[in-house]
Amino acid sequence: MTERYERLCAAVSKALETPERGTALQRCMQRGRDSRGRAIAALPGGEAFRAEVKAIKDRCIDRQDELVAKFTASARARGAHVHSAENGAAAIEYVLDLARKRGAATIAKSKSLTTEEIEINDPLIEAGLRVIETDLGELIIQLVHERPYHLVFPAVHKLTAEVAEIFAKSLDKEVSPDIPSIMKVVRAYLRPIFLDADIGMTGANIGVAENGSIVIETNEGNGRLVSTIGNCHVCVMGIEKIVDTIDEALTLVLAHPVSSSGQLPTTYVTWMAGRAPLGEGDAARETHIILLDNGRKAMRQDPGLKEALNCIRCGACMNICTTYGVVGGHTFGHIYPGPIGIPWTAAVHGLDKAAEFTPLCISCGLCREICPAEIDLPMLIAEVKHRVAKEDGYRRADRTMMDAERFAQVGSTLAPVANRVLKNPTARRIMSRALGIDANRVLPAFSRKTFTQLFPGHTSTVADPVRKVALFIDVYANFNRPDIGMAAVACLEAAGCEVLLPEQRASGYPYIGYGDLDRAREAAAFNVARLAPLAEEGCDIVAIEPTAAYCLCHAYPALLGGSRKSRSVAERSFEIFRYLLDHEPEGQADNLSGRRYGFHVSCHQRPMGSGREAMEWLQRRGAHVELIETGTCCGMGGTFGLKAGPLGQGLSKAAGEGLCKKIRESGVEAMVSESSVCALQLREGTGLPVFHPLELLRHAKGEKKQGGHA
């Protein structure tokens, strides 16, 4: 484990030394996210197609054996040769045998992640075949002997000047470092290959069981040329790509390009069923479809990884992953890069390969929110981390972060001493060595009196409550900022609520983030057991911290198998500002008039309103609130950014620099965030005060600030 971790740290450090590459990659990712947003805004129903995609994939994966058999029969009836390959070696042997029988010398390939997965090129080349990638990105990385950097854009990390140099060296001719010149050279190189190839090889985006057709989507047209000009077409397709009907396939044909690049649809969508002769006596034209298992059947039987089979290879999770945007696909991936690469690598290439880059996931959860198939990637990745930890254990810093509640209890009990220690450079260096906490991070002070100690002495202002609310407090508002917790109580009581404080533990999300699913389920079960009876009696549950609300609404049902009690809790759980907007009296005082704030949406807020309710709550009070974001995580990743070293604070700050720069240039007087950990990142990265919305009213009145200081 130590050697593996050191290799990963070295790769991250190298990426941090060349920030210009990360900046270029992040710009590309931003364009993809922005284009996707515009395309979805133009779609009837907007994001609703995601639920349909999920339903299709769930249904078809559950019927996989039946659909594979149905596809095989339909394709054979149309004249295709269909072969089932248990693994990559079997698929490669089939192609080699076919090439020998046909006397083939040249294989022209279209972009195919499935053939990358089984690393088909090298064995074919070693057997004496000439293998040429015809997709521009794949051709670039083939010429430099690299793996794909991105599922959809395999050479996105190469700058224009580099690409020109690659082709100049490989083709032994001058190539000007501009895109038109590069494309002219590439077209001239590929044209005879398309015309003269003995075998054309592709993957397939979709297989359709009802008529045995395959669907190939490309933007360059090379897939169509490779598959149709020559006499022999070989398609290597994972069995998870098969759907039942053409209607289902059409839904996926929309989902692929919208999610990856914002197109409606991909430039070339090729439907192929069987093989037609070009003229009389042209019986030699053949189609061979290799249906690849390579671990997929085992994935379907594995509850912890099965959902990964729903992936449609759009690359959207890469376009939003903040750490991928810094280090790229060669560090964040094996053959399959990015977030989806973690469960897929574990399933088809082994847990050891996945463990090489799994720590790069900071569990922000954004991949779940952008996935067109609504795959719960954070939980799949947590499962992989859990399995790795079962074999290797947890690193010291990860254990520290998972024990945040216990450390907070100790810090609060010893508050005066603990707070002096947090400000002492020598003590912080010792903490860094002993606990793995970065010595330079400014940590929040502890309160001697916790919220759970203060609340029982509180006198309610509600004489005749109209509803009951159970407050879920979590760590920060309990041990560090109980004043925020009490401000929440005051706001809820002003809305006519009787506030209850049931027995509870911290949300436990760090357990999910670092892969201790046993303790995550224990925390979920503890809290649900105490909150469910209240929920079932009609009591609402309100959380101050976005991650706590996310756990109540999303993580707990996933951890507890969708149990009745977990669903009861989820259905009655709310973020505080959504709840206040629904229930507080109208005509709020204009306390924040003339104030201009920037607002940061924390990642776990995105499935629960994206902070709109908090911004409206502030606007009702006269504040001018400006949403400032890049569409991805600020880089803090919960407690990830508190850890020392490149695989912690170093990567975290690099990931957040784009957002912090945008905030610094905005001209706002202060930032607002509901997330306690995001506030730490923004405060350090911008130099601006960062407030929780609940403390702004007191700040506007000139009262003492405890945590919103610069």
What mean pLDDT comes out for the span 643-655?
95
* CA distances to 84, 171, 439, 620 from 613, in Å: 53, 58, 36, 10
- At 709 the pLDDT is 36
Residues 60, 158 share a domain: yes
What mean pLDDT comes out for the span 562-576?
97
What mean pLDDT comes out for the span 454-462?
88
- At 593 the pLDDT is 78
Which residue range is the domain that position 654 belongs to? Answer: 596-700
Which tokens belong to 674?
A: 């509901």
Taking the C-alpha atoms of residue 32 and residue 49, their distance in angstroms, rounded to an integer, is 18
Residues 513, 639 share a domain: no
Residue 591 pLDDT > 90: no
**HSE-CB for 146 with a 13 A CA cutoff:** 22
- At 421 the pLDDT is 93
pLDDT in tens, 391-437: 999 999 999 999 999 999 999 999 999 999 999 999 999 999 999 99
- At 708 the pLDDT is 41
Residue 710 pLDDT > 50: no
Does 418 map to a domain? no
Residues 616, 653 share a domain: yes
* CA distances to 12, 319, 617, 652, 687 from 15, in Å: 5, 18, 41, 13, 25
Residues 602, 556 share a domain: no
702: confidence class by pLDDT, cuts 50, 70, 90: low
Residues 147, 99 share a domain: yes
Taking the C-alpha atoms of residue 63 and residue 407, their distance in angstroms, rounded to an integer, is 48
> How many structural domains compose the chain?
3
Q: What is the mean pLDDT of the chain?
A: 92
Residues 32, 176 share a domain: yes
- At 705 the pLDDT is 43
Taking the C-alpha atoms of residue 608 and residue 547, their distance in angstroms, rounded to an integer, is 11
Does 329 map to a domain? no
Relative orientation angle of helices 160-171 and 179-196, to the nearest 10 degrees = 40
- At 536 the pLDDT is 95
For the chain, percent of residues with pLDDT exceeding 70: 96
Indicate the length of the chain as a whole number: 710
Residues 604, 575 share a domain: no
φ/ψ (deg, to 5) at 174 = -75, 135
pLDDT in tens, 104-128: 999 999 999 999 999 999 999 999 9
How many beta carbons lie within 10 A of that of residue 651, not counting itself? 28
**HSE-CB for 1 with a 13 A CA cutoff:** 12
Residue ending a domain, choose from 296, 315, 330? 296
Q: Which three-class secondary structure string do you get for 432-484?
A: HHHHCECCCCCCCCCCCCCHHHHHHHCCCCCCCCCEEEEEECCCHHHHHCHHH
Residue 95 pLDDT > 80: yes
462: confidence class by pLDDT, cuts 50, 70, 90: confident
The answer to whether 637 touches 364, Cβ cutoff 8 Å, is yes
Start-to-end Cα distance in the chain: 39
Residue ending a domain, choose from 556, 583, 610? 583
pLDDT in tens, 474-508: 999 999 999 999 999 999 999 999 999 999 999 99
Q: Exposed, middle or buried: residue 452 (CB in 10 Å: 0-12, 13-18, 19+)? A: middle
* Distinct helix (H) and strand (E) counts, the chain: 35, 18
Residue ending a domain, choose from 296, 313, 330? 296
* CA distances to 261, 466, 656 from 37, in Å: 10, 41, 21
From 263-267, 272-276, 679-683, the region with the lowest mean pLDDT = 272-276
Residue 609 pLDDT > 90: no
Does 629 map to a domain? yes
* CA distances to 469, 477, 685 from 581, in Å: 15, 21, 31
Residue 646 pLDDT > 90: yes
